[in-house]
Amino acid sequence: MKISVLSRDDVCGTAILVEDKNKSILVDFGLKVHEEEEGVILGGALKDLRNIVSKIKGVFITHAHLDHTGALPLLCKWGYDGFIYSTEPTRPLTKRLLLNSVKVSRNKPFFTVRDILVARERMRAVRFFEEVDLSGIKVIFYSSEHIIGSAMVFIKGEKRVLITSDFKWEKTMLHHGVQSKIAGSLIYEELERCDLMIMESSYGNKRLQGLKELTLKLSKEISSTVDKGGTVLIVTGAINKPAEVALMIKRGVEKNIIPKHIKVYIDGLAAKFYDMLITFRRFTRVKNSRVLSRAVKKVSLEEREELISNNEPKVIISSGEYLGGTTSLYYFKKLAQDPKNTIIFASSNIPEGTLAHTIVYGKQHRVFIEGDSVRINARVVTIPISLHSDYRGLVQFVKLIKPKKLVLIHGSKESKEFLARYLKNYDPVIASEVRLKI
Number of Cβ within a 10 Å radius of residue 51: 10
pLDDT tens for each residue of 54-76: 889 999 999 999 999 998 998 99
Q: pLDDT band for position 37 (50/70/90)?
A: very low
pLDDT tens for each residue of 173-195: 999 999 998 888 878 899 999 99
Q: Give pTM, 2 decimals.
A: 0.94
CA distance 161 to 357: 37
Q: Which of 70-84, 218-232, 249-263 comes out lowest in average pLDDT?
A: 70-84
Q: 36 pLDDT exceeds 50?
A: no
Strands of the 263-267 sheet, one edge to the other: 297-298, 263-267, 314-319, 231-236, 342-345, 379-382
pLDDT at 279: 97
pLDDT at 35: 43
The amino acid present at 65, given as its one-letter code, is H
- Which CATH entry fits the domain spanning 211-382: 3.40.309.10, 3.30.9.10, 2.60.40.2310, 3.40.50.10890? 3.40.50.10890
The beta strand positions in 84-166, using DSSP E, are 84-86, 123-125, 131-134, 137-143, 151-156, 160-165
Q: 225 pLDDT exceeds 50?
A: yes
Number of Cβ within a 10 Å radius of residue 334: 19
pLDDT at 11: 45
Q: Which of 205-214, 364-373, 421-430 comes out lowest in average pLDDT?
A: 364-373
Q: pLDDT band for position 237 (50/70/90)?
A: very high
pLDDT tens for each residue of 80-108: 999 999 999 999 999 999 999 888 776 76
CA dihedral sign, ordered 132, 179, 215, 414: negative
Mean per-residue pLDDT, 165-169: 97
pLDDT at 423: 97
138 compared with 8, residue with greater pLDDT: 138
223 compared with 44, residue with greater pLDDT: 223
The fraction of the chain above a pLDDT of 90, given in percent, is 76
CA distance 242 to 344: 12
Q: 42 pLDDT exceeds 50?
A: no
pLDDT at 364: 77
pLDDT tens for each residue of 324-353: 888 999 999 999 999 999 999 999 989 888
Q: 133 pLDDT exceeds 50?
A: yes
CB neighbour burial string for 256-270, b if at least 16 within 10 angstroms, e if fewer: ebbeeebebbbbbbb
Q: pLDDT band for position 164 (50/70/90)?
A: very high
Fold held by 2-206+387-437: Metallo-beta-lactamase; Chain A (3.60.15)
Q: Which of 5-9, 212-216, 270-274, 428-432 comes out lowest in average pLDDT?
A: 5-9
CA distance 425 to 369: 50
Give 210's DSSP letter.
P
Ranges of each domain in the chain: 2-206+387-437, 211-382
Q: pLDDT band for position 45 (50/70/90)?
A: low
Q: pLDDT band for position 371 (50/70/90)?
A: confident
Q: What is the dihedral of CA 273, 275, 278, 284, to 10 degrees?
A: 0
pLDDT at 363: 76
CA distance 342 to 221: 8
Q: 432 pLDDT exceeds 80?
A: no
What SS3 class is residue 390?
strand
- The answer to whether 33 and 67 have CB atoms below 8 angstroms apart is yes
Q: How high does pLDDT run on average in the chain?
A: 91
Q: 38 pLDDT exceeds 90?
A: no
